[in-house]
């Protein structure tokens, strides 16, 4: 029997009262603020041209504090958009842009060469000490600002994965990985002075014990591979508790490391934060055992304990929230007394679909609604605000939550 509980949501302007489960971390209304332009009924879609309001496939967002600033990886336009204060109105224009000469230009590395202010498919983004870190995926590097940017095109201070800001070859132009190289890095996360990077193309997660201070500084720990040089899918074998196929996002949930392994359609949870190379995880979500990898556990429709290409993850108090991207939904697990009891378990809450067996974009393959999702990639929580990069709808959602 399915004991999972749905997060019941209705549009912001709904007049009907809705009873919300005590298990749900979300309130009953939909997104309080929607960034990006929206289509009305009967309005035709137009090309997504860059502007201070328009976004194209955003894959990451980070609210630095409950009052702002907010930074968004506008992935398809190869830029970051920044709001000085937390936005309070739909389609509110950004204040700053990094990666392009102005709000009306786009193109990888601003249609030029890589540098300290250019980007190519920026994805993961997070607060990092007193500054900001961005996974600049197609430049195969992570950019770090030591202080939060407070203007357009503030140059980054550090680069990881490359020797210089002008370099952008995967694994520095070699066929082998190393402790100081990156290949299609999509995720970045910072926690208690440690920096974590999802080095997706090398099928591994890298950990720096302290925030790096030099360009190209090598990582201290690798997960997903037996050593710093290896880069085979699932370690060259079948999936296991220590291997990865397409790791994408990272969080720490009550001092337990969590990684989305989208290529194996699962979420990996370690008991604590690993300190040794290739340490196995203790728990997987989305699969029944460590060696299984099928989308939705081998059937077409999802369930409360299956996943299809989960990309984003964040912790919100006792809750772990996962963007089940290809199922266009958000799932929530509430932490039990023992983390080990979560292995293969059903999720406890749902957003974006009518029930756990549905998976259509925007529920009915129609226009986006305040409480619908379409290939949502990223999620982060700051205070009582969840920030969701709803990539397929070319928008970012600011959603008020409660975790009690």
Q: What is the pLDDT of residues 60-111, one digit of tens each?
A: 999 999 999 999 999 999 999 999 999 999 999 999 999 999 999 999 999 9
Asked whether the beta carbons of 55 and 77 are under 8 A apart, the reply is yes
What three-state secondary structure class fits 236? helix
Neighbours of 108 (CB within 10 A): 16
Cβ-in-10-Å burial (0-12, 13-18, 19+) of 367 comes to middle
Contact call for residues 354 and 329 (beta carbons, < 8 A): no
The dihedral through the CA atoms of 112, 114, 118, 121 has a sign that is positive
Q: Provide the sign of the torsion angle of the four alpha carbons 191, 195, 200, 203, taken in this order.
A: negative
Q: What is the pLDDT of residue 112?
A: 98
pLDDT tens string 222-275: 999 999 999 999 999 999 999 999 999 999 999 999 999 999 999 999 999 999
* Spatial separation of the C-alpha atoms in residues 402 and 388, rounded to whole Å: 15
Is this model's pTM higher than 0.75 or not? Answer: yes
Inter-residue contact 246 to 261 (CB < 8 Å): yes
Nearest in space to 131 (alpha carbons), one of 121, 120, 142, 122:
142
Q: Output the pLDDT for position 346.
A: 97
Q: Which residues of the chain have pLDDT under 70?
A: 1-28, 39-47, 403-404
Domains detected in the chain: 33-400 (2.120.10.30)
Q: In whole angstroms, what is the distance from residue 361 CA to residue 373 CA?
A: 6
CA-to-CA dists, residue 389 to 74, 124, 225, angstroms: 9, 10, 29
For 196, the token pair is: 């974590």
Are 393 and 36 spatial neighbours (Cβ–Cβ below 8 Å)? Answer: yes
Supply the DSSP string of 354-383, one letter for each residue: SSTT---THHHHSS--TT--SSEEEEEEET
> What is the pLDDT, as a whole number, of residue 12?
34
pLDDT at 66: 94
- What is d(CA 260, CA 189) in angstroms, rounded to the nearest whole number? 12
Compute the mean pLDDT over every residue in the chain, rounded to the nearest whole number: 91
pLDDT at 17 (0 to 100): 24
Provide the 10 A C-beta neighbour count for residue 381. 21
């Amino acid at each position: 029997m399915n004991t999972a509980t749905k997060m019941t949501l209705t549009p912001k302007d709904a007049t009907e009262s809705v009873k919300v489960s005590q298990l749900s971390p979300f309130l009953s209304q939909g997104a309080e603020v929607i960034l990006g332009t929206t289509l009305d009924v009967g309005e035709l879609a137009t090309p997504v041209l860059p502007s201070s309001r328009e976004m194209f496939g955003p894959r990451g967002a980070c609210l630095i504090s409950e009052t702002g600033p907010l930074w968004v990886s506008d992935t398809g336009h190869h830029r970051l958009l920044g709001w000085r204060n937390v936005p309070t109105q739909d389609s509110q224009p950004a204040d700053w842009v990094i990666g392009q000469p102005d709000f009306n230009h786009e193109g990888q590395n601003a249609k030029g060469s890589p540098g300290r202010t250019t980007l190519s498919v920026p994805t993961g983004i997070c607060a990092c000490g007193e500054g900001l870190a961005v996974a600049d995926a197609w430049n195969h590097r992570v950019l770090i600002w030591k202080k939060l940017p407070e203007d357009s095109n503030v140059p980054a201070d550090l680069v990881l994965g490359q020797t210089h800001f002008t370099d952008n070859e995967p694994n520095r132009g070699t066929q082998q990985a190393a402790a100081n190289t990156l290949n299609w890095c999509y995720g970045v996360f910072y926690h208690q002075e440690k920096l974590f990077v999802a080095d997706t193309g090398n099928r591994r997660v890298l950990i720096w014990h302290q925030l790096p201070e030099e360009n190209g500084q090598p990582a201290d720990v690798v997960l997903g591979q037996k050593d710093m040089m290896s880069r085979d899918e699932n370690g060259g074998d079948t999936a296991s508790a220590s291997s990865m196929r397409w790791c994408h996002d990272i969080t720490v949930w009550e001092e337990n490391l969590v990684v989305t392994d989208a290529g194996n359609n699962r979420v990996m949870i370690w008991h604590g934060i690993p300190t040794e190379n290739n340490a196995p995880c203790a728990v997987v979500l989305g699969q029944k055992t460590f060696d299984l990898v099928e989308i939705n556990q081998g059937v077409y429709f999802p369930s409360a304990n299956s996943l299809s290409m989960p990309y984003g993850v964040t912790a919100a108090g006792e809750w772990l929230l996962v963007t089940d991207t290809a199922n266009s939904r958000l799932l929530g697990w509430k932490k039990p007394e023992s983390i080990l009891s979560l292995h293969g378990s059903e999720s406890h809450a749902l957003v974006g679909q009518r029930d756990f067996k549905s998976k259509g974009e925007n529920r009915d393959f129609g226009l986006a609604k305040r409480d619908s999702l379409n290939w949502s990639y990223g999620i982060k929580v700051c205070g009582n605000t969840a920030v969701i990069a709803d990539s397929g709808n070319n928008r970012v959602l600011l959603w008020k939550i409660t975790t009690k």
